[in-house]
A and B are shown apart, each in its own frame.
Chain A
């Protein structure tokens, strides 16, 4: 069973629909016990970092997710869920993250070169090509430079060692990252058509 962490931050619907479509046994849960029992964990998320990390802590899930991930249970953070895996975020102030992967969440706009600002709008919304590390098991069903769907204004930076996929939008955007059995995708696999479904399928098989 894959536990889909429910800490009151939207977007679970589409993920559930995708996993259901793939025929995967999924449980949406806010129960730490269920997270412990699960074979794998997915940490979703849309919205603002500060609000999300607060909710994750309040419902007691941040501790159990950290513990399970450190034990080696496969974890996939999606979009804001990926950002939460890092040490900190600079979105509306400075917030501490789960600290499972080294790096910080930064503003795309602030980091973009001045010359790039005119040509690349922020938020980074839309379908962008994904340059992947083809050897990563997360990408075993997709090809290099296929399109995935992004919606975000902040991105993971100072995390070169864990980057396994990227897209260009005025700057190199961390598309996906990995540290051991912890994965994160900035894009939304559940919104990236067949390519995205194939990434989710690969995660369920790692």
Chain B
């Protein structure tokens, strides 16, 4: 059986790992290379790197860091942030990424998913979606959670998978950074709509939240940032805990 995956997420801006709350008030944490290396040792199943840098110049810095990170870790690496074209896919894959996560770029141009899946295989294309409740409906937001696209989350998830996305990351804007548990309601509603693996993101605050996630929803992985960055939860303790709860994880 495939194990459930525990994935630390590093949001990198201008070369530093940052962590915000509900996508705002971003604050710096530490050196991404050091942190990636730490997570590799600590038993993380995968790492996700998001480049939230705006300027082109600083993107080159990100690529340099990405290469350094990819040289030091021997677990899978997903990279996202500002991926708009096949050239962007090419760049990050050459820097050592294994999977590429698209978000706003795919909303603007859904054909990007088809093209990338055809060129690099479905397993390489991860659709990341930022979802928020609007009038009781799950809607997709773009531009780092600022803009309501008017797209229904379930329809977009299904469309992306039909186009060739091999994995979905569902990030609940409503629970992001709140640390009161994953958005079980949202994930239970969306994950069964697709046949591909789903990574849950947004809201992890303690070990119990992961047990809750895996017991109540069919998702394959839990992603979190601050609780791991600030070492409120150690990955080895979390995995031991989940194993005792009967959730199969790699230990």
Contacts and interface: CB of A to CB of B under 8 A. Distances in A.
Given A46-B121, A126-B197, A127-B3, A192 B74 contact: yes
A191 B122 CA distance: 18
B160 to A, nearest CB: 14
Interface stretch (A34-42, A95-103, A132-140, A148-156): A148-156
**Interface SS of B by simple majority:** mixed
A7 interface: no
Nearest to B44: A193
Given A124-B2, A152-B123, A18 B74 contact: yes
Given A10-B120, A13-B94, A51-B119, A149 B75 contact: yes
B3 A128 contact: yes
A147 B2 CA distance: 9
- Chain B interface size, as a band, is 35 or more
Interface string A105-149: 000000000000000111111111100000000000000000101
User: Which of B2, B70, B94, B118 gathers most chain A CB within 10 Å?
Assistant: B2
Given A46-B120, A128-B1, A128-B2, A123 B166 contact: yes
B74 A47 contact: no
User: Which of B45, B120, B123 gathers most chain A CB within 10 Å?
Assistant: B123
B76 A151 contact: yes
A181 interface: no
Nearest to B198: A121
A151 B118 contact: no
B229 to A, nearest CB: 21
B95 interface: yes
B196 interface: yes
B109 interface: no
B139 interface: no
A84 B120 CA distance: 15
Contacts, number: 109
A11 B90 CA distance: 10
A30 interface: no
A184 interface: no
A188 B250 CA distance: 16
Given A10-B120, A14-B98, A123-B196, A169 B2 contact: yes
A190 interface: yes
A125 B78 CA distance: 13
Contacts of A13: 67, 70-71, 94-96
Contacts of B217: none
A59 interface: no
Contacts of B155: none
Contacts of B19: none
Contact of A125 (B93, B195, B197, B250): B197
A10 B74 contact: no
Given A13-B95, A151-B99, A127 B250 contact: yes
B196 A121 contact: yes
Interface in B187-235: 195-197, 220-221
29 contacts: A11-B98, A13-B70, A13-B71, A13-B94, A14-B96, A17-B70, A17-B74, A21-B74, A47-B120, A47-B124, A48-B119, A51-B119, A121-B220, A123-B122, A123-B123, A123-B197, A125-B167, A125-B197, A126-B5, A128-B3, A149-B75, A149-B76, A151-B76, A151-B124, A168-B1, A191-B75, A192-B74, A193-B74, A193-B75
A11 B99 CA distance: 10
